[in-house]
Amino acid sequence: MTSGFLELRHVECEGPAEYLPALEEYGPVRTVRLWREPLPDTLDHRAIVVMGGPMGAYDGAVVPWIDDEIDYLRSALAAGVPVWGVCLGAQLLAAALDAKVYPGGAPEVGVCDVELTDAAASDPVWGEVPASFPTLQWHGDTFDLPVGATLLASSPAYPNQLFRHGRSYGVQFHLEAGPEVAAEWLAIDEYRGALERTLGAGAAEAVLAELGSVHSQTSAQAHAVMTRWLESIA
């Protein structure tokens, strides 16, 4: 097994961001851009980080590599390779664990509070995070909790926000995304349109300002949870 980590990216603007410094402290990160590169032939990385994207985990008919990615993650889990899935990545992890992924109700977009469950208090990665904390949300899909998983966080709109399965974690929210990353997303018509259809015209600037006001907190938490995860799988 190599000493590095594999990042699976679905769109250029959604990378590890605030998670990256912690990852690079523990080893090199190999990024595979799935829209133009094949999945690795082997499962020889220490862990896999699966990022977000505008497509759905159920979009295999129109995004051909999605089903292959789910199969790859299923094989990785069976081989004992831990996975950290973010937003779409959390949904793909859930699908690889044979849980259903589907459109939710109204999209959850903007800076929202997430509440940890009682089970999170004893979690090796999330146990030191405040019981309630603000984070960026940007999704319309959700998933059923996989069999054998432990629910660690919820929000009023989407109960399944964070889960642990073995040494793997599905993180629905974007703790890794600060104002600079969000500004890149908002420069894309599809992303800005999704936000303003939910929150109203002109909401983009308000979201950026709110995210900026909590960025020091979210950045520190992103580094802390990623570091604790990497320590836990070392």
Q: Just list the catalytic residues.
A: 87, 174, 180
Q: What is the spatial distance between Cα 174 and Cα 18, in angstroms, rounded to a whole number?
A: 10
Ramachandran angles phi, psi of 151, nearest 5°: -75, 130
Say which DSSP state 50 is in. E
| Three-class SS state of 225 | helix
Structure-block tokens of residue 38 = 């094949």
Chain-centroid distance, C-alpha 187? 21
Length of the chain: 234
Q: What is the spatial distance between Cα 106 and Cα 103, in angstroms, rounded to a whole number?
A: 9
Q: Indicate the pairing of strand 47-50 with strand 83-86.
A: parallel
Q: What is the spatial distance between Cα 218 and Cα 233, in angstroms, rounded to a whole number?
A: 23
